[in-house]
Amino acid sequence: MNLPLLSDPLKYPDDKVLARHLGKAFVSWNAFQALLKKSDPRLAGEWRYYNDGKSWLFKVTLRTTTLCWVAVRDKFFSTTFYLNTRAEDLVRESSLDNGRKQAFLHPAPKNKFRSIRVEVRKKSDLNEVEELIGIKLKVK
């Protein structure tokens, strides 16, 4: 399992720390930041250390609405979008990976929340992230 790497509460994940952990994917991190600004200039991102998960997470918000959570892994980062049932049609009609669609549309009974997770290793992985941002902004 790819656990988040940023587990030291005293070490803020600045660009130097991120570059070390992400390696080549740091270029994708910068592209992700640009994508957020392009999608909606009001989007804000914030690093916070969460004691329950014992790691730093990047939370993307629009005012009080959380768009997604981002965790840094070994040489990539993952974005997780939590969506409600109002997003079902948008997800169904999207160009997202079919496996992601099916996992969202037919969640395991034990899942309390429905989410879609995208691992970002290269810039092209941001295509699905961009689509999910659009979906989330429509159903917020």
Task: Give helix 15-22 / helix 26-39 axis angle, nearest 10°.
Answer: 120
- Return the domain boundaries, the chain: 15-139
Per-residue pLDDT of 5-61, as tens digits, reads 899 999 999 999 999 999 999 999 999 999 999 999 999 999 999 999 899 999 999
What's the average model confidence in pLDDT over 62-91? 95
Q: Give yes or no for residue 102 having a pLDDT over 90.
A: yes
